[in-house]
Amino acid sequence: MSPLKRYSATLAIVHDGDTISVHENGRVHKCRLAWIDAPEYGQAYATEARAELFHMLKGHAINITVLRYDKYHREIVAIRTDHGVDVNAMMLARGAAWYCPRFGRGPAILTTLEAQAKFVQRGIWSKPHPTPPWTYRAAIKTSHRAKPTQKV
């Protein structure tokens, strides 16, 4: 997949462990990290995943490679810091996210990094039976649909 565009930016806000907003030349871009899925709010390790992402990005120039756009008009991105840190890969290595090929097939190293974090029980893998975010989201959707309406 060839990139749609590349640019340098600064961090505006970390929404969660896989979504940020950045400033670039007076514009704000909402970016979703490619190839990973971090815990959702309400899940174990969601706060820690957000903090991991924040600490990797704060105070650094952020080099963004836009791979595509999603249905919410977010940029699906690969991120490197000005020091060359591959942020998408580091989130997996730190056990702060799951590898999620349904968001696009990433570099082969990503599955290895996730497996290593799992093996040493780092981050999300330190919790018993971590629930992937896609399973968590599906359960929430199902429970909302299953609620009976109350007649007045």
pLDDT reported for residue 3: 84
What are the residue ranges in the chain where pLDDT is below 70?
1, 103-104, 146-152
CATH code (residue 35):
2.40.50.90
Closest CA to 100 of 112, 109, 90, 110: 110
Whole-number pLDDT of residue 149 = 53
- The answer as to whether 151 is a domain residue is no
Query: Which amino acid appears at position 17 of this protein?
Result: G
Q: Would you state the pLDDT for residue 105?
A: 78
Total structural domains within the chain: 1
pTM: 0.90
Residue 124 inside a domain? The answer is yes
Tokens representing 60 are 């650094």
Range of the domain at 132: 5-146
18 in a domain, yes or no?
A: yes
In a domain, 75, yes or no: yes
Q: Which contiguous run of DSSP H or E holds residue 52?
A: helix 46-57
pLDDT computed for residue 141 by the predictor: 85
pLDDT at residue 151 in the model: 53
The answer to the question of residue 27 being in a domain is: yes
What's the one-letter identity of residue 119? Answer: F
Residues 124 and 95 sit within 8 Å (Cβ to Cβ): yes
pLDDT at 146: 59
- Which amino acid, 122? R
Examine residue 88 and state whether it is found in any structural domain, yes or no: yes
Rg (CA), the chain: 16
Asked if residue 16 is part of any domain, the answer here is yes
Residue 152 in any domain: the answer is: no
